[in-house]
Amino acid sequence: MAGDPSEYIVDIREYDVPYHVRVAIDKDIRIGKWYTVEAKHGVISIKCIEDRLERPDPVVLAFDIETTKLPLKFPDALIDQIMMISYMIEGQVKVLDYYNSICAYWF
């Protein structure tokens, strides 16, 4: 396949663009900028803070929940118990271990 990939686009319509992307385009909301957001009486205003040039550092949170379950089934909140919850934020890991209703923390 040679040439410009846009040559192979036959048609694009408004419904091909997800709603949240369309709102961001229409409101000129861009990733990595700072905004002031206000909501009064159902009216939402979003204003870019132009003089704040420092980009925000992203914060990543990841978690995992281990539960009991029947073989070849997905966990069911009504009958299965949580055995362990672990999460990591900014490179620090915490594990919550539920064994006989005792919770222990490891860092």
**Domain locations along the chain:** 12-48, 61-106
Comparing C-alpha atoms, which of 61, 51, 54 is closest to residue 90? 61
Q: Is 19 helix (H, G, I), strand (E, B) or coil?
A: helix
**In this predicted model, what pLDDT tens digit does every residue of 30-69 receive, in sequence order?**
888 889 999 999 998 999 998 887 776 778 889 998 899 9
Q: Whats the size of the chain, residue-wise?
A: 107
Identity at 2, one-letter amino acid code: A
Q: pTM for this one?
A: 0.41
